[in-house]
Structure 1
Amino acid sequence: MVPVNHDSEVTLEIATAIARLYDRIRASGLSMRESTDFEYFEDTVRATEDRYLMEDFSSRFFDLHGSSAFWIGAWDRAGEPVSVQAAKLENLKDRSLGEFWQQQQRRMFVDPSNQAQLGEDHAHDAFFMRGRIVYHGNLWLRRDARGKGLAEALTQLGFLVSLLKWSPDYLYGLMAARNAEKGFGIRVGYRRFVPRGTHWIAPPEHVRPDDWLVYATRQDLIGLARTIVSADPEDPE
């Protein structure tokens, strides 16, 4: 793993923000685990009500290792899964994120299906994003836990663990347009929004063609950590 380049003050701020989020989530009665065991991740996803495993985090397509991928799960007191999320790092020195998509999206969706057709008019910003880039995805929260602020806290936890581990240049996701328009992205910590993600001429059946590229820079994420640290711990809003 490439050493992160935080100075000590920033590292402490990020760690403090993670601790704040961790305490807030545990106060809701959930236990959590961070893991790099993606066989366990797939088993946990299969135990959820949606059972949706994204191709990006499937052993069918990728060898996922602890140096460049992790996931976080949350369980209730009965040991039933309440939330999952995952993140992985790509070191894109020789190509942009948009160029990377041309290879990886085709690998995951087009090659296995004769019906899917990938275009080239991807999110404009993606063709300028290079360096250490984290993809955050497979975010799921059980229906009875929604609307309580847990989605925001859990997602921010994943963002800041990624920041602490890897100090990426960018962290991004692909978000359904309706969620982006309702402000979920800004609440969790994304700070930049492009009303197109991957360009599909004929999308795979289970992939939304209207997803937005949503992302944050390293400094955006540090700003998120500082906001959490400076907030009143008695007032999660």
Structure 2
Amino acid sequence: MTMQFSANAAPFIATSRNILFSQGIDITIGSDFDEYSEIVTEERPMQKLGDPFDPTLHGLNKSNAFWMIGRSEDGTLIHTQAAKRIRLSGRPLSSYLMRQFRAFPPPLPGVDLNLSRFRATPGTHRIEGTAAYHGEFWVAPERGKYRGVGLASVFGRTGMLEMMNRWDPDWIYGFILNVVAYKGFGARIGYLHLEPSVLKWIVDGRDDPIDTFLAYNSREDLEYLLDIPLNEATSEAA
């Protein structure tokens, strides 16, 4: 079933454009991941390119993946995110990740892929059909300018809408580190479902593993999300 966005998305699109315009932010969407890799390397040195979107590891093109960046009025990179279609081949996400979870490590050096583990959550058993993976979400750290002012809600929903318009997946999912999830990040960018302890990463030099949440939305969740006035969704904690 193809989802119809005309009624639900129009108010969101208009409001989000007004918010981005008022902040002087320009959005660019592309599918050349060699270009994206260069942007990240040169302009986002504090967070390396994630493996799921590394063009040297995966065949990424306009039919199966895209990236989105935001720039300030002076051209400074202030936001990134990316998404790609995932082929579950008739399996639930739980079965897919049992074999493939090592393809989604956090962007940190020293991750021990052999000792790290995946735990199936209720959502991973539920997610099947067509799916899109959502990652690379980053907002410039100048709090009070780009963080804590509602932009994450605009960026997150814009990315989700782009995924639905391109691929109409049954599900959208991503992984959020515990330290970020407990601050409400997943809810702010628009995820209605969060499940803890899905991926546990062992990192050299760290005493404790890095734990993550699974975040996901169904097609129906997104339809509901887009029907919520954006000004209600952009009230972020100080």
Q: TM-score, normalised by structure 1?
A: 0.83
Note the C-alpha offset of 1:80: 1.7
Say yes or no: does 1:219 pair with 2:214.
Answer: no
**Larger RCO of the pair (alpha carbons < 8 Å, separation 6+):** 1
Q: What per-residue deviation string (whole Å, max 9, x for no partner) do you get for residues 56-113 of structure 1?
A: 000121111111211111111221211110011113242221222233333566xx98
Distance 2:204 2:30 in 1: 30
Alignment equivalent of 2:19, drawn from 16, 24, 49: 24
Mapping 1:81-96, distance limit 5 Å: 81-96=77-92
Name 1:68's counterpart in structure 2: 64
Note the C-alpha offset of 1:216: 1.0
Shift of the 51–43 alpha-carbon distance from structure 1 to 2, 3 Å rule, reads: farther
Say yes or no: does 1:140 pair with 2:138.
Answer: yes
Mapping 1:14-163, distance limit 5 Å: 14-46=9-41, 47-106=43-102, 116-144=114-142, 145-163=146-164
The CA RMSD over aligned residues, in Å, is: 2.8
Q: What per-residue deviation string (whole Å, max 9, x for no partner) do you get for residues 104-137 of structure 1?
A: 333566xx98763243533342133111111111
The code of the aligned residue for 2:49 comes to L
Name 1:5's counterpart in structure 2: 2
Check conservation: 1:18, 1:161, Cα contact below 8 A: no
Distance 1:85 1:222 in 2: 21
**Larger strand fraction of residues:** 2
Note the C-alpha offset of 1:205: 7.2
Distance 1:147 1:107 in 2: 31
Distance 2:204 2:135 in 1: 18
Which segments of 5 or more consecutive residues in structure 1 lack a partner in the other structure?
none
Note the C-alpha offset of 1:219: 0.7
Note the C-alpha offset of 1:166: 1.8
Distance 1:123 1:205 in 2: 28
Q: What per-residue deviation string (whole Å, max 9, x for no partner) do you get for residues 152-204 of structure 1?
A: 2111211111122222111111112233222221222111111122244x457
Q: Structure 1 residues 93-102 or 58-67, which shifts more?
A: 93-102
Note the C-alpha offset of 1:147: 1.6
Check conservation: 1:175, 1:214, Cα contact below 8 A: yes
Distance 2:81 2:125 in 1: 26
3-state SS of 2:211 partner:
coil
In the comparison of the two structures, how many residue pairs are matched?
226
Q: What per-residue deviation string (whole Å, max 9, x for no partner) do you get for residues 20-50 of structure 1?
A: 2133112201111111111111111111242
Check conservation: 2:102, 2:113, Cα contact below 8 A: no
Note the C-alpha offset of 1:12: 4.0
Distance 1:113 1:189 in 2: 28
Distance 2:90 2:2 in 1: 21
Distance 1:55 1:205 in 2: 21
3-state SS of 2:191 partner:
coil
